[in-house]
Structure formats: structure tokens, C-alpha cells
Amino acid sequence: MRKIIKYLLLFLSVNEMYAQWSTNTNLNTPICTAFTKQNDPRIIQDGNGGAFITWKDERNGLPDIYVQRINKDGYILWTLNGISACDDTSDQSTPNLVTDMQGGIIVSWSDRRTGIDRDVFVQRIDSNGTELWTHNGVAIATKPNREHNEKICSDGAGGAIIVWEQEDAQWDVWAQRVNNNGVIQWTAGGIPLTTAVGNRINPKIQKDGKGGAIVTWQDNRTGFYDIYAQRIDALGNYVWSPLGLPICLAPNTQSSPKIDPSNSTGGAYITWTDKRNGVDYDIYVQKIDSSGNLLFPPNGIPVCIASGNQSAPDILSNKVEGVIICWKDNRATNTDIYAQRIDAAGNIMWTLNGVAICTSPNDQLNPNICEDMQGGAIIVWQDSSNANDYDIKAQRVDYLGNIVWTVNGEVVCNAVDVQKSPKNISDDRGGSIFVWQDKRSGSNDIYAHHFFSNGTYIDNTSVQNLSTTEKVLIYPNPTSDYLYLNFIENISIINIYDVSGKNIFSEKYPTNKIDLSSFSPSLYFLEIIKKDGATIYNKIEKQ
């Protein structure tokens, strides 16, 4: 009997090591399949290779806000089908989330519990799924008129800064800060982002690294929508002009701004959809520093000015500086997905008007982007190339603009019926975790999937043909002067490339110590060629 128990325990322990990520794109990994509809998923990293996911959930009748945590191997960590961030009997929608910097999350949403119109609430949940603030959330704004379309970022101290659209005599953009204990930090009801007249909508927010935030929005004070921004400090003071910083005042309409940090300047990159040509929409981008200086030419630089409409941009900045921007593009007869890389000086780095990410038949929509840990990106979208319904596909593009995975994308989900609204994050290993809303059951549920950096569920790139003792190849990383290799016996050549792709270091049969003291602080790419011809890549950060 003891022997049987011993082998049973061994069997169970071995099986516990197997990942729960589905290997089948018809099945995937369910996040929530509760009764009725689940919509509008959002996802962030959990700091351990897994993810936090939130969504709007109608299992109780009117929509509530639910959340779930999944680890790097695809195991659900909290209650099956998620835990409620808010299950008040009124209507809650537009969930967003951000890290609390202590292993948990802060979730925001718009809420109709006051019975007047929508308001904004937040809740903090720890890494174990326990509510830390008032049940059903802390009120951020509960004014007589409507507050909705809220966005959230970390304040860098365990709390959050929330921005939203507010309906007064006009639509305006307001903000509030809440600390790590759920206590409101600024004037009750929040502060406006500008004192100027005119309608303001569609805010996006990015932390400024000093306890405050940079916010961008579309603003029609001139009669057409333009793009403006404001930086607000940790105390709720304007850092830039009370009128806001004009990002683009070109003719006609500019809309749908997105923002990501500029790490070296303490500022941000802002991209948007632009109709300055009076004919169709293009994609532009601007870079600003922490003082509000425009670092690219006035009104931004063109990312794509191809014929037809380009819209729905998403943006990814990196530590080296520069951005990768993706968008949906109808320069052809249907809508496709394209991307472009812009360097820190505003130079176009890839093919003029963008690299084609997917040009399959029918429409591809809703692109979303995350980093691939090697200077490139992984892009996911909603794809109707099978003509019957929407599936989810993804593509990886390297820092030189080369397509890495199967042409027109790897299938993430091809289950029956409609899958849409995909989002993705980095898995911190060069791959990506994807989430979307999925109608395979007849009503929308939330599903997820995972790919390693090679576009499959098998991790055979970073440890290609390596034994267990060979997996850790370089240290320390980030590094200052020297890089060490803990396995060199089977290495034939080492190459190092800068972010432009130039080979700046090459050594045959290397020692275990590489001198980087003459390298400028930047991101580099290490290529290790083994004696059997296998090639391994690593990202190096020189500080």
C-alpha cells in the first residue's frame, strides 16, 4: 500500500508540473465561462510571468466587474470564473486595471449605483484575490452628471491616478489620485486637466515616473478635434500650461490618441489618427519630454500616409527609445494590419508606410501590441479571413521589421462562432499571453492562450538544443562593464548587434567574459552560435 501511495504521489507531483495552457487553438484556456455574457476584457502582467484579467460580467443580471489571475503555466489561481471587484446590484462597465506595486491590482470602472448617471469607482485586490478596500469599491467621482470612459495608471507609490470623461455644460477630462489605502488625495470630485473651453473626450494616461501622470486627449476648442496633453504632479498641480499642451493642431480632425513612456526624457510618445489631408485618415506620432517640449517637428511626424484610412493605432515604446506602432489599414480592398518602427530621433526604421503584418482576405481589426523582449513586438488582432466569423491571430515582428512567425499570422483561436476584442501582454520570456471575448458557447465568455517567442506552445527557441545546465547563458543583465557566460564549451561564435542591426562585436571561441566597458548605455542583441549550428538570441541592457 505504501508503495502504491508513493507512486500515486509521484504521479500527482509530476502532473502538477505540466502547464495548463491549452495546446489546441480550438479549445484554448477558459478564464470565465459563467452564465450569460462576459465582455470587454483587459489584461496586465502579474510580475511573475502570469497575468491579471478583468472584464464586464452579466452572470448576476446587470453587469458587474470580475477579475482573475492566471500564472505563467496557465493555472487559474483564484476562484473558478473569477472573483468580483464589484457586484453591486446596479450596472458597472468599462473595467481597467493597473498594478498596485505589491503583487496585486487596482481595478477601475464606471458605475450607475447612485441612480443619477454613471460615476467612477476603484477597488484594490491583493495577489491572493482578497479585497483590500471598501466592498464594491471606493468612489472616485459621484457628481450629478455623467462620468465614464475612465483610464488608470500607477502613481508609483502603490496607489493610482484615474482620468475620465465628465459631462458638464461640455464634455471635459478630469482626474483623481487614490493612495494605497484607498484614500482620495486631491480635491473631492477630482480636478480638470485644463481650464480651456471646448469639448474634450477620449483620454489616455501614462505615469510620469515621479508620482504624477501625463494625460492625452482629443480636444475641439478650435472647432475640429486636435490632440492635447497635460502633465499633472503627485499633488494634483499642473506641470504644463493650464490650457494644456498642444500636441497636434493640424487642419481637420485628429482623434484616438494613444500614449506610452519616453524613458530617457521622462516624457511620452503620443500617436493618433489624423485627417489633415482632408481626404482620409493617416497615423502620426509626437514625442515630448518631461517639461512639455515637442521633440519631433510641430504637429508630429507621419507614421503612415498611404491611401485609404489608417486607424485604431496602438503603441509600444522600449528602454532604448523609439516606438513601434501598429494600426488597421484599408489601403487595399479590405482592412489589414500594418506596423512601423520610429527611432528616438523620429526616423522611419522600416518600410515606408509600414510593414504588412497581415494582408489576408476580408477584414482584420482591433490590433493590440506588446514587446517580444528583443526589441521587436508581438501583435494580435481579430481576423475574418475564414469569411465565416472572426478568429484571433497574432504575429511577431523583429526590431528590423522582419516577420518572424507564419505569414499573415499564427492562429491563436479558431473556435466556432465569433472571437473579438483581443488584448495581449508580454510573458517576460519573449512570448505573449492573449485574452479575448469568445462566443463559442452561444454567449460571450473570456478565453486566453499563450505562445512562446517562436509562435507555438513549445519553448524551443531560448533553450534550443540545450541541456538543463545550459539554460542560463549570460549574467548580469542589465550589466555595466562586463558580461559573463556560464556555458562556453559548445559555443563557436558570439556576435553583438546594436538596435539598428549593425554587428559591433564578434568573437570566435570566446572566453566566459566579454568586455562591454566601451559600449554606450543602450539595448543590444547577443547572438550565440553553437558548434552544431544552433543559434540562440538574448537581449542585453547596458547601463
- What CATH number is given to the structural domain containing 512? 2.60.40.3080
- Residues 44, 182: one domain? yes
- Same domain membership, residue 249 and residue 128: no
Cβ-based neighbour number of residue 144 at 10 Å: 10
Clarify whether residues 274 and 178 are in a common domain. no
Cβ neighbours, 10 Å, residue 83: 16
What whole-number distance in Å separates Cα of residue 216 and Cα of residue 227?
7
Give me the number of domains the chain comprises.
3
54 in helix, strand or coil? strand
- Tell me whether residue 518 is exposed, middle or buried, using C-beta atoms within 10 angstroms of its C-beta: 0 to 12, 13 to 18, 19 or more: exposed
Sign of CA dihedral 249, 251, 256, 258: negative
Can you read off the three cell numbers belonging to residue 252?
Answer: 481637420
Residue that terminates a domain, selected from 192, 223, 256: 192
Residues 166 and 281 in one domain: no
The DSSP secondary structure of 476-496, one letter per residue, reads SSSBSSEEEES--TTEEEEEE
Q: Which of 162, 192, 222 is the last residue before a domain boundary? A: 192
CATH code for the domain in which residue 90 is found: 2.115.10.20
Pair (183, 213) in one structural domain: no
The answer on 235 and 86 residing in a single domain is no
Q: Quick one: DSSP state of residue 468? A: G
Whether 42 and 180 map to the same domain: the answer is yes
User: ∠ CA 345-346-351 to the nearest 5 degrees?
Assistant: 125
pTM score of the predicted model: 0.84
Distances (CA, A) of 337 to 298, 381, 399, 436, 475: 27, 8, 17, 18, 37
Going 262 to 265 to 270 to 274, the CA torsion angle's sign is: negative
Per-residue pLDDT of the chain (543 residues; tens, 9 = 90+): 333 333 333 333 333 333 489 989 999 999 999 999 999 999 999 999 999 999 999 999 999 999 999 999 999 999 999 999 999 999 999 999 999 999 999 999 999 999 878 999 999 999 999 999 999 999 999 999 999 999 999 999 999 999 999 998 899 999 999 999 999 999 999 999 999 999 999 999 999 999 999 999 999 999 999 999 999 999 999 999 999 999 999 999 999 999 999 988 999 999 999 999 999 999 999 999 999 999 999 999 999 999 999 999 999 998 678 999 999 999 998 999 999 999 999 999 999 999 999 999 999 999 999 999 889 999 999 999 987 799 999 999 999 999 999 999 999 999 999 999 999 999 998 999 999 999 999 999 999 999 999 998 877 544 333 333 344 457 677 787 888 776 556 677 888 888 666 888 888 767 777 888 888 888 887 878 777 666 677 778 787
Domain annotation covers residue 108: yes
269 within domain boundaries: yes
Give the domain range for residue 144: 33-192
129 lies in the same domain as 73: yes
Q: At which residue does the C-alpha cell 478650435 appear?
A: 222
Residues 79 and 161 in one domain: yes
Is 236 a domain residue? yes
- Residue 363 falls inside a structural domain: no
Examine residue 61 and state whether it is found in any structural domain, yes or no.
yes
Quick one: 184 and 288 in the same domain?
no
- The last residue of a domain, from among 311, 331, 352: 352
Is 397 within the bounds of a domain?
no
Q: What is the pLDDT of residue 388?
A: 76
Regarding whether 172 and 39 lie in a shared domain, the answer is yes
Do 214 and 94 fall into the same domain?
no
**18 close to 24: Cβ distance less than 8 angstroms:** no
Answer whether 180's CB lies under 8 Å from 172's CB.
no
